[in-house]
Structure 1
Amino acid sequence: MKASLHPLTLWIWALLLAIGVISVDNSWVALIVVGVVIAVFMVRADGAPWNATFWWSVRIASLIVCVRLVIGILIGVPIPGRILFSVPRISLPHWMPGIRIGGEVTFERIASSTHEGLIIATMIILFGAASALTSPHKLLRVLPVYIYEIGITLVIATSLFPQLARSLQRIRSAQKLRGIERISIRSLALPLLEQSLSRSLQLAESMESRGFGSHGKRSRYKPSPWNSQDSIVVSCGLIFCAVTVLQ
């Protein structure tokens, strides 16, 4: 059984790594961080429902890199350098100087677009891993009382994507059992919307039955301890952040 971490540990770790990646602004460092994050996820994943969202964040990050690369090739500011190929150029009005659609595509232009996409993708993967490896219920328990209501809103928002991913898998499995191989957006969207509305009503009824918001003082059944493993994880992130910021 994997040792349990404090609910805030991986979020702090991801934040420190994100600061380091932005500070160093290097594609190779970003790729190394992504590799480390994937390795940590593979080790720490325990089969919880919210674990599945990590691979969705990886897919979204990959899509962003591809979209940024396509936009960099077709639209953007010309960057001089080694010309790789050319695409048909569309003339723009005179009041849009410095921007063009099409034209000569240089290696430097592709490298710049890929670099920007990788940095954005790394941020998504970092916080996607933190969200996928942290139970939203445990995260809610450690929030201070004075931001408890804001915390509930944030936890519900961050747990929405894991719940949608789980519902999508359940719908897809049910359709496969019925022999439906060809899936359309409509066949997925309608059941997904129905389940989302049903889950929202259940959540509202649950919060109302527990008297949410009726009084400011709340109790905590079992506080989450901060152990040596949490300190090691945060220290690693802090060292990486310090090295990249102070270089």
Structure 2
Amino acid sequence: MRERAAADSGRRAEARWWQAPEAGRANAVHPGAWWLWALGLAVAASRTTNPLLLGLLVGVAGYVVAARRTDAPWARSYTAFLKLGLVVIAIRVLFSVVLGSPLPGTHTLFTLPELPLPEWARGIRVGGRVTAEQVVFALYDGAKLAALLICVGAANALAAPARLLRALPGALYEAGVAVVVAMTFAPHLVADVGRLRTARRLRGRSAGGIRAVARIGLPVLESALERSVAVAAAMDARGYGRTAEVSPAVRRTTAVCTLGGLIGICAGTYALLAAEGAAYGVPLLAAGLAASVAGLRLGGRRSPRTRYRPDRFGPRSWLVAGSGAAVAALMIAAAGYAPGALHPSLIPLTPPELPLWPALATLAGLLPALVAPVPVPATNTVTAREEAP
């Protein structure tokens, strides 16, 4: 029986040599690679206001998430980020309608009653004429911000927070714990709300309305407090917060390198995200990264840590991170030779068109759906363990 099972598994492996393997400890994609991929898509989204390209970027991120996310609670947060993006678009359009826009327009949609303001509030208006140009401008602007949030949500759904914390250098361990706890709180909160709403429906009670929200909120808060107490106890049992002694010179050098590197990274990132500035943004970003790496290596002496089975940045991780970087680089290059295609005209108001080469560049972000290992459902893993001799 074992020989037959081995032969069957060998035939399946030969028949599927061109497909990505099942995910395991040895071939799992590094969590940092998922974040680099998502940040590449976010950089590409920040370079355009074309709703067709933004929708294509969101579709690429959603397809990769649907193909490679696990069944863990934190992996279900992508839908919440999608809803948050829609809320952001609605709020941006609402603010534009109520507070007006500096963009002139000729196509009047309707006119709201204008609220008179004092002299010191000159330049601000509430109500008045609402034009199609200002509404479309707000829609484009809100769609760009929503795409950025959705890209971050894709990274949050694909990269395991615990593995991401384990991959951080020792100097960022304390800050990484705070960030990972904050990142995991929202998905657990969404899962708790869904579980309690399902329980209320099974009991024949209403799951909507203000009264139901008030009755669901107390159990959610109670579970969040219990989870925080358990996390604090686990951190204390593992010796969290203990540091080693280092010389004052090393501490000062670490502070200078880290602070200077972060300033360089912020300046370089701002230059890359701005409409113009990619020429000096790359050197600043490279210098900031080098200084930050030096500061982090020196700061890691304060936090001696050991890693059990550390995650490796293997070839598949490089391909995942490289696909996001390729999308960002190609979109930045497209902004140089075809700015009109990335930013549709508002005056005169024209419908957006899907440019060919930027759209093809965006499709490079689908590479993780082909090369990243396929996650194994938890039920299959438990069944395989039970059937193992």
**Structure-1-length-normalised TM-score:** 0.93
Deviation at 1:144, TM superposition (A): 0.8
SS of residue paired to 1:103:
strand
Aligned partner of 2:81: which letter?
Answer: S
Instruction: Indicate how the Cα distance of structure 1 residues 78 and 211 shifts in structure 2: closer, same or farther if over 3 A, else same.
Output: closer
Q: Quick check: 1:133 aligned with 2:158?
A: yes
Give me the whole-angstrom Cα distance separating, in 1, the residues matched to 2:115 and 2:200. 46
Query: For residue 237 of structure 1, what is the aligned residue in structure 2?
Result: 324
Q: Quick check: 1:225 aligned with 2:312?
A: yes
CA contact (8 A) 1:20 1:245 kept: yes
Query: For residue 90 of structure 1, what is the aligned residue in structure 2?
Result: 115
Unpaired runs of at least 5, structure 1: none
Deviation at 1:29, TM superposition (A): 2.1
Instruction: Indicate how the Cα distance of structure 1 residues 176 and 26 shifts in structure 2: closer, same or farther if over 3 A, else same.
Output: same
Give me the whole-angstrom Cα distance separating, in 2, the residues matched to 1:176 and 1:98. 51
Question: 57, 62, 71: which one pairs with 2:95?
Answer: 71
Give me the whole-angstrom Cα distance separating, in 1, the residues matched to 2:197 and 2:179. 28
Q: Deviations over 1:165-186 (max 9, x none)?
A: 1211222222223222244221
Aligned partner of 2:48: which letter?
Answer: V
Q: Deviations over 1:99-145 (max 9, x none)?
A: 22222211110011111111111111000110111111111111111
Give me the whole-angstrom Cα distance separating, in 1, the residues matched to 2:316 and 2:225. 39
Deviation at 1:13, TM superposition (A): 1.1
Deviation at 1:5, TM superposition (A): 1.2
Query: For residue 193 of structure 1, what is the aligned residue in structure 2?
Result: 221
Which one has a bigger Cα radius of gyration?
A: 2
Root-mean-square deviation (CA, aligned residues, Å) is 1.7
Query: For residue 282 of structure 2, what is the aligned residue in structure 1?
Result: none
CA contact (8 A) 1:68 1:114 kept: yes
Aligned partner of 1:203: which letter?
Answer: V
Q: Quick check: 1:164 aligned with 2:192?
A: no
Question: 206, 217, 231: which one pairs with 1:203?
Answer: 231
Give me the whole-angstrom Cα distance separating, in 1, the residues matched to 2:326 and 2:237. 46
Aligned partner of 2:188: which letter?
Answer: Q
Q: Deviations over 1:10-52 (max 9, x none)?
A: 1111112212221334333222111111111111122111121
Give me the whole-angstrom Cα distance separating, in 2, the residues matched to 1:182 and 1:199. 24
Give me the whole-angstrom Cα distance separating, in 2, the residues matched to 1:135 and 1:87. 48
CA contact (8 A) 2:197 2:207 kept: no
Give me the whole-angstrom Cα distance separating, in 1, the residues matched to 2:236 and 2:54. 44
CA contact (8 A) 2:100 2:128 kept: no
Give me the whole-angstrom Cα distance separating, in 2, the residues matched to 1:172 and 1:15. 34
Q: Quick check: 1:214 aligned with 2:242?
A: yes
Q: Quick check: 1:52 aligned with 2:68?
A: no
Aligned partner of 2:86: which letter?
Answer: S
Q: Deviations over 1:79-108 (max 9, x none)?
A: 322212222222222222232222221111
CA contact (8 A) 1:78 1:99 kept: no
Query: For residue 173 of structure 1, what is the aligned residue in structure 2?
Result: 198
Query: For residue 61 of structure 1, what is the aligned residue in structure 2?
Result: 85
SS of residue paired to 2:71:
coil
SS of residue paired to 1:104:
strand
CA contact (8 A) 1:88 1:103 kept: yes
Question: 151, 154, 177: which one pairs with 1:152?
Answer: 177
Query: For residue 37 of structure 1, what is the aligned residue in structure 2?
Result: 61
Aligned partner of 1:199: which letter?
Answer: R
CA contact (8 A) 2:109 2:130 kept: yes
Aligned partner of 1:58: which letter?
Answer: L
Query: For residue 80 of structure 1, what is the aligned residue in structure 2?
Result: 104
Percent of matched pairs sharing the same residue: 33
Which stretch shifts more, 142-151 or 178-187? Answer: 178-187
Q: Deviations over 1:48-93 (max 9, x none)?
A: 1112111011101101101111111111234322212222222222
Give me the whole-angstrom Cα distance separating, in 2, the residues matched to 1:100 and 1:214. 55
Unpaired runs of at least 5, structure 2: 1-21, 244-302, 337-389
Q: Deviations over 1:214-233 (max 9, x none)?
A: 35322111011222222222
CA contact (8 A) 2:36 2:325 kept: no
Aligned partner of 1:196: which letter?
Answer: A
Aligned partner of 1:144: which letter?
Answer: P
**Structure-2-length-normalised TM-score:** 0.60
Query: For residue 113 of structure 1, what is the aligned residue in structure 2?
Result: 138
